[in-house]
Amino acid sequence: MPRNEVPRTVFRRLRGTTVGFRLDIDIEGDVSGCRLEGEALNRVAEEAICATLTRNAEFAPGLDEGGNPATGYYMNSINF
């Protein structure tokens, strides 16, 4: 996660923690939702992190068994 895209106060508060995230992906490969999990989170941190993840994420559309576009999700974590 680019450090200059998240407020410095958020980085300071989260230093030494791990934040899990899930991005929901629509049938066009765009992020349609963002959920975070971490003890040190607050609304400002969640908004800043989700905005950064959503802005920088690039996904190819998922496909179902018939080869048609399908929704999906991506899960990972960030160590601060």
pLDDT tens-digit series, residues 18-42: 999 999 999 999 999 999 998 778 8
* Rounded Cα–Cα distance for residues 34 and 22 (Å): 6
Q: Which residue's entry shows tokens 């680019």?
A: 2
Alpha-carbon gap, residue 53 to 51, rounded angstroms? 6
pTM comes to: 0.84
Length of the chain: 80
Residue 44: pLDDT band by 50, 70, 90 thresholds? confident
